[in-house]
Amino acid sequence: MDKAELARELAEEISKRLRRSRTRVPIGVSNRHAHITQAHFETLFGKGAALTKFKDLSQPGQFAGNEKIDIQGPKGAIKGVRLLGPFRPKTQIEVSWTEAVVLGIQPPVRESGDLAGSAALKLAGPLGSVEVREGLILARRHLHCSAAEAAAIGLSNGEVVRLRVGRGGERETVFEKTVVRVSDKFSLELHLDTDEANAAGARTGDPAYIV
């Protein structure tokens, strides 16, 4: 590589880093929740029951349901875990580490959908219960964005980045190992669980910045 080519690459890298650092990435704080299959939903709420919308979520097509369930582990239970829609091919429950301690379970940190070998637990609804052999995870922190947003910022699907949260505050924190997830089904947002957000004093809608 000659000096001119090296200089061009360095200039491109500096430009990309500057572009990223100036982009305001909204934070979405993710409380405990469950994505479940239709079959499991009907076991919990009755044959033919429907998941009804409480409100739309920030990601296109996703919504919070009115329906809630209880989740039970070896040491304790957490009541009122909200269901999210639409239904999923596999049941997936996401909690924080603090909540996992309450349940008495040590779930792995995983990306959404990576459930093989994840933790087991029991789901309880008004009309039934379900033993889930695997499905409980601590969600790996991640940054959603559309293909157009990724191109504009200079991100690629599966890339791992660092984000500064709570900039200028007393609990300012840099979150390492944040995976980028690109899809036209997504919009720009950093997802943190409640433990992560509390550590940085962050709330939904606050800005984060790639560093």
pLDDT tens per residue, the chain (211 residues)? Answer: 677 777 676 767 667 777 777 899 999 999 999 999 999 999 999 999 999 999 999 999 999 999 999 999 999 999 999 999 999 999 999 999 999 999 999 999 999 999 999 999 999 999 999 999 999 999 999 999 999 999 999 999 999 999 999 988 899 999 999 999 999 999 999 999 999 999 999 999 999 999 9
Dihedral sign for Cα atoms in the order 203, 204, 209, 211 = positive
Cα separation of 82 and 36, whole Å?
11
Q: Answer whether 196's CB lies under 8 Å from 175's CB.
A: yes
pTM recorded for the entire structure: 0.89
The domains found in the chain, sorted by start residue, are: 24-29+141-210 (2.40.40.20), 31-139 (no CATH)
Pair of tokens at residue 87: 């239904």
